């Protein structure tokens, strides 16, 4: 969906996309240990995508890493250390790093104490954000009402869901815990890994 949006509405050329699992120091109930989440991400993309990858750096950090610092990590590795990437036209260019997020995550920007204003300015101003609409999330209304988001609106891309999909990792974990089928919700290799390692059973 995000890839289609970029092709249809921007002049960007997609060079790659990274899943960045949080470390075990991110205190969210129900998350599997980070090494399992990294491996499931690898299994999910290895046969289904030529451009999606998993980066384990965030998962290996000794403390919770703020999103702004994770984006800095990607910028450092890709643009500073490697000097950018080779485009399809044979030129080496710096890449524009963007955060891809669901509308529900964006609405968390208004939660007091959850996001630093400086981080939001850094994420939205220096990088940019692709926001996928989620069912029940009024992304446009929130963008208009949030001062920092609105200030950086030219660097924010809202992706409309053409086919509504309400699947979330939270719901998948709940289905597993309740003994319900998750076939067709995840690649078979990931389902087998969850079963083999007894993840989310309790």
* pLDDT mean over 52-72: 97
What is the share, in percent, of the chain residues with pLDDT greater than 70? Answer: 99
Alpha helices in 76-129 (DSSP H): 103-107, 117-121
Cα atoms in the 13 Å half-sphere on the side-chain side of 146: 23
139 pLDDT more than 90: no
- Among 84-88, 104-108, 136-140, 150-154, whose mean pLDDT is lowest? 136-140
162 pLDDT more than 80: yes
Within 8 A by CB and 6+ apart from 146, the residues are 109, 110
201 pLDDT more than 90: no
What's the whole-number average pLDDT of the chain?
Answer: 93
CATH architecture of 2-196: 3-Layer(aba) Sandwich (3.40)
**pLDDT computed for residue 83 by the predictor:** 94
The answer to whether the predicted template modeling score (pTM) of the entire model surpasses 0.85 is: yes
**pLDDT computed for residue 29 by the predictor:** 87
The residue written with tokens 């965030």 in the block is: 58
202 pLDDT more than 80: no
**pLDDT computed for residue 190 by the predictor:** 97
**pLDDT computed for residue 106 by the predictor:** 84
Give the start-to-end residue ranges of the domains of the chain.
Answer: 2-196
Confidence of residue 194 (pLDDT cuts 50, 70, 90): very high
88 pLDDT more than 90: no
């Amino acid at each position: 969906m995000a890839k289609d949006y970029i092709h249809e509405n921007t002049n960007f050329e997609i060079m790659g996309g990274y899943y960045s699992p949080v470390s075990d120091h991110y205190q969210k109930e129900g998350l599997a240990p980070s090494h399992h989440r990294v491996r499931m991400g690898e299994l999910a993309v290895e046969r289904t995508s030529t451009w999606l990858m998993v980066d384990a750096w965030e998962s290996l950090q000794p403390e919770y890493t703020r999103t702004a610092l994770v984006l800095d990590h990607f910028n450092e590795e890709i643009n500073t250390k490697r000097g950018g990437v080779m485009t399809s036209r044979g030129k080496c260019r710096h890449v524009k790093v963007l955060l891809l997020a669901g509308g529900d995550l964006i609405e968390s920007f208004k939660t007091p104490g959850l996001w630093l204003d400086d981080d939001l300015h850094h994420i939205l101003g220096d990088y940019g954000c692709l926001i996928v609409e989620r069912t029940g999330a009024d992304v446009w209304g929130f963008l208009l009402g949030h001062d920092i988001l609105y200030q950086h609106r030219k660097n924010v891309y809202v992706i409309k869901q053409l086919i509504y999909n309400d699947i979330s990792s939270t719901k998948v974990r709940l289905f597993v815990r309740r003994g319900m089928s998750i076939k067709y919700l995840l690649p078979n290799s990931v389902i087998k890994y969850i079963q083999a390692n007894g993840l989310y059973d309790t």
